[in-house]
C-alpha cells in the first residue's frame, strides 16, 4: 500500500462467539486479517517466500550470542518497508520465545494509555495460520490496577500497525510463542510510567518486545514540510537525531526531540514505552536498517522513513583480532555495523596498502571479497578515518567525515594519507612499519545540533564551524585525553584557529558517532 494518509472506514470484525468466560459451550473469537491481499500477500506460499526473502537480506544471528530482547520495526506495506523490517527480524530468525509483546500506535481510534484487544479474543489469524494470544498475560495487564491499561477492541479492529508484524513473527521465530498485542495511545509522563510498570513484570529472557513504528512522514500529505531541498539527506539527519535519543535509552530525550522538531514518527509512543522499559542501559542497541519510501518511488514529494533497530542484552568486550574498543551503532542512513571478520579485513587492508607503498609494489585490491554479502557495510559509502600510532604516540590521522566512496576504498585511501600525507608527521618508513598500530573509525553522517548542551562527550565526534574556521574531533579524542565537554570545545576552537572561548556564541556544531576498532598488540 502506498505510504500516504488514508481515511479508513471502521472495519468491524465478525464475532464468532461471546467471551471465553461465558461458559463451557462458548467459543472464543479470532481476529481475522484485514491487510492480507493488499499490504502483504494473501497466498500462504507467496507470503512465506516474500518474508524469507526479506529475512535473507538481514544479518544472520550468531547462535553463540544472546538472543535479542527487543526490536523496533516499521509497519508500512511490505513493498515499502518489508526489506527494512526484515533486517530487524533476521536478528531473531530461528530463535525461540515464549511470549512476544507487540506494541504499536493507534492510527484510527484516539485514546489515552494502552489498549488491549477484546477479552473474548484468543488468537490472531494470518494466511500462515493462527497465533494464540497469551491470555494469562493479557489478564494480568487488564487486572494490573492501572486505569490506563484496558480492553478497547474497537481500536484494534481497523489497526494495521500490529497485524503487519505478525506474519514476520510466524516465519522468523520458532513455533510456540504467544502474542500480547497492545496499542499505545496518548501518554503523559504519569501514564507512560504506569503503562511501562504494568508491562514490566511480563518481561524476561523468554520474552521479545516489538515496537512497531515508521519514522518521519514528510510532505503535504502529512502536513510536515520542514525543508524543501536535499530532502533525502535532511530526512536521514532528522531521523538520525531520533535514533541518537533511542540509543541513549532516554524517553525524555526522545520526547524533547519530538517537541523541538514537530516530528511525525507515528509510533513515537510505543518507542517511549520501550525506552522506559529499557531504562538504565539494560541493553545494547544496533541500527539494522534504514530506508525512505521516496528512494523507492523516486518521488520525495511525500516520503515515509523506515528504521529497524535491535536491542540485545549487554555483553563484555569481544576478544580476538580486530576487537571493537568503542561501539556507537547509530548508522544514520546506513545498515548494520561491521562484524569481526569485516573489521579484520579492513585492518589488514590498511596495513597491506601501506606496506605495498613502502615496497613499491602494486597495492592490494580495494574491493570487498565475494565472501562478504551484497549488503555488507564494506560496500556502502561511509565516512572513515584511519589513525596510526607508534609506540603509543600519534603518527597520522586523516579521513573523511562524509562518505564519498565505498568503505573499502575509503580505508585504502585514508591509510595512505595517514601514513604519508599527514603534514604534522614525517612519512612512515619501512623501518617504522613494525611499530605502527592501526585504528579505524567508521563514521555515521554528521547531524546538526542546537548547541553544546546536545554534545555527549565520549559518544559524539564534533565538527565546529565559525566564520569559516573549522575543526573536528573524533568521538574517542575527548575520552583519551580525559577532557570534559568545555575543555574539549576549547581545544577544538584552538585547533580551528579560534580563541578558546569562541564556541560559546556564534558557532555551529554537527555531531557524528563511530564504530571504532583496532589491531591487537602494543599501542
135 has pLDDT over 50 = yes
Higher pLDDT, 280 or 65: 65
pLDDT of 324: 35
Query: Residue 381 in contact with residue 404, Cβ under 8 Å?
Result: yes
pLDDT of 333: 36
Residue 280 and residue 278: Cα distance in Å, rounded?
6
pLDDT tens-digit readout, 422-480 = 888 899 999 999 899 999 999 988 888 888 988 988 889 999 999 988 899 988 888 77
pLDDT of 486: 93
Q: Mean pLDDT across the chain, nearest whole number?
A: 86
pLDDT band at 43 (very low <50, low <70, confident <90, very high): very high
- So what's the architecture of 317-523 in CATH? 2-Layer Sandwich (3.30)
- The pTM (predicted TM-score) of the whole model is 0.60
6 has pLDDT over 50 = no
Which whole-number Å values give the CA distances from 380 to 169, 344, 397, 513, in the listed order? 29, 17, 22, 16
pLDDT of 273: 95
304 has pLDDT over 90 = yes
pLDDT tens-digit readout, 389-437 = 988 888 999 988 877 788 999 999 999 999 999 888 899 999 999 899 9
454 DSSP assignment: G
pLDDT band at 314 (very low <50, low <70, confident <90, very high): low
Mean pLDDT of 200-225: 94
pLDDT tens-digit readout, 216-273 = 999 999 999 999 998 998 999 899 889 888 887 878 888 889 999 999 999 999 999 9
Return the closest-CA partner of residue 323 out of 153, 62, 520, 106.
520
pLDDT of 339: 85
Mean pLDDT of 289-305: 93
Element (H, E) at 449: strand 447-449
pLDDT of 70: 96
317 has pLDDT over 70 = no
pLDDT band at 284 (very low <50, low <70, confident <90, very high): confident
Residue 165 and residue 71: Cα distance in Å, rounded?
11
> What residue spans define the domains of the chain?
20-312, 317-523
CATH entry, 20-312, from 3.40.830.10, 3.30.2130.30, 3.40.640.10, 1.20.140.10? 3.40.830.10
Amino acid at each position: 500500500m502506498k505510504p500516504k494518509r488514508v481515511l479508513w472506514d471502521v472495519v468491524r470484525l465478525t464475532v464468532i462467539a461471546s467471551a471465553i468466560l461465558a461458559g463451557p459451550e462458548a467459543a472464543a473469537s479470532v481476529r481475522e486479517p484485514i491487510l492480507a491481499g493488499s499490504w502483504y500477500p494473501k497466498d500462504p506460499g507467496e507470503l512465506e517466500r516474500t518474508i524469507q526473502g526479506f529475512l535473507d537480506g538481514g544479518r544472520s544471528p550468531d547462535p553463540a550470542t544472546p538472543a535479542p530482547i527487543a526490536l523496533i520495526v516499521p509497519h508500512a506495506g511490505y513493498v515499502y518497508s518489508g526489506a527494512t523490517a526484515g533486517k530487524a527480524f533476521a536478528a531473531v530468525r530461528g530463535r525461540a520465545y515464549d511470549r512476544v509483546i507487540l506494541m504499536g500506535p493507534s492510527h484510527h481510534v484516539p485514546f489515552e494509555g494502552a489498549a488491549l484487544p477484546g477479552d473474548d479474543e484468543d488468537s490472531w489469524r494470518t494466511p500462515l495460520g493462527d497465533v494464540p494470544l497469551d491470555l494469562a498475560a493479557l489478564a494480568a495487564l487488564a487486572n494490573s490496577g492501572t486505569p490506563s491499561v484496558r480492553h478497547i477492541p474497537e481500536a484494534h479492529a481497523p489497526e494495521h500497525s500490529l497485524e503487519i508484524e505478525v506474519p514476520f513473527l510466524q516465519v522468523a521465530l520458532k513455533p510456540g510463542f504467544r502474542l500480547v498485542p497492545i496499542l499505545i495511545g496518548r501518554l503523559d509522563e504519569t501514564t507512560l510510567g504506569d503503562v511501562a510498570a504494568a508491562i514490566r513484570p511480563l518481561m524476561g529472557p523468554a520474552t521479545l518486545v516489538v515496537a512497531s513504528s515508521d519514522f518521519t512522514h514528510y510532505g503535504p500529505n502529512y502536513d510536515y514540510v520542514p525543508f524543501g531541498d536535499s530532502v533525502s539527506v535532511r530526512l536521514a539527519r532528522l531521523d538520525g537525531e531520533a535514533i541518537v535519543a533511542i540509543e541513549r535509552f532516554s524517553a525524555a530525550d526522545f520526547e524533547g526531540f519530538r517537541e523541538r522538531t514537530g516530528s511525525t514518527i507515528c509510533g513515537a509512543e510505543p518507542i517511549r514505552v520501550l525506552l522506559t522499559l529499557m531504562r538504565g542501559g539494560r541493553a545494547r542497541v544496533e541500527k539494522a536498517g534504514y530506508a525512505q519510501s521516496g528512494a523507492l518511488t523516486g518521488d520525495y514529494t511525500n516520503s515515509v522513513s523506515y528504521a529497524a533497530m535491535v536491542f540485545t542484552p549487554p555483553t563484555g568486550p569481544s576478544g580476538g583480532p580486530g576487537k571493537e574498543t568503542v561501539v556507537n551503532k547509530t548508522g544514520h542512513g546506513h545498515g548494520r555495523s561491521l562484524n569481526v571478520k569485516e573489521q579484520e579485513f579492513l585492518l589488514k587492508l590498511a596495513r597491506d596498502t601501506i606496506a605495498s607503498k613502502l615496497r613499491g609494489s602494486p597495492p592490494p585490491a580495494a574491493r570487498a571479497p565475494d565472501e562478504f554479502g551484497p549488503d555488507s557495510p564494506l560496500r556502502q559509502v561511509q565516512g572513515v578515518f584511519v589513525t596510526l600510532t607508534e609506540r603509543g604516540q600519534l603518527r597520522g590521522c586523516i579521513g573523511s567525515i562524509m562518505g564519498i566512496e565505498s568503505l573499502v576504498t575509503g580505508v585504502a585511501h585514508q591509510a595512505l594519507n595517514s601514513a604519508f600525507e599527514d603534514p604534522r608527521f614525517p612519512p612512515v618508513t619501512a623501518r617504522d612499519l613494525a611499530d605502527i598500530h592501526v585504528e579505524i573509525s567508521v563514521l555515521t553522517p554528521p547531524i546538526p545540533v542546537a548547541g553544546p548542551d546536545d554534545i555527549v562527550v565520549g559518544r559524539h565526534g564534533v565538527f565546529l564551524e565559525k566564520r569559516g574556521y573549522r575543526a573536528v574531533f573524533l568521538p574517542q579524542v575527548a575520552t583519551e585525553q580525559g577532557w570534559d565537554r568545555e575543555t574539549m570545545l576549547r581545544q577544538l576552537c584552538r585547533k580551528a584557529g579560534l580563541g578558546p572561548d569562541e564556541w560559546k556564541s556564534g558557532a555551529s556544531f554537527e555531531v557524528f558517532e563511530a564504530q571504532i576498532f583496532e589491531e591487537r598488540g602494543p599501542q
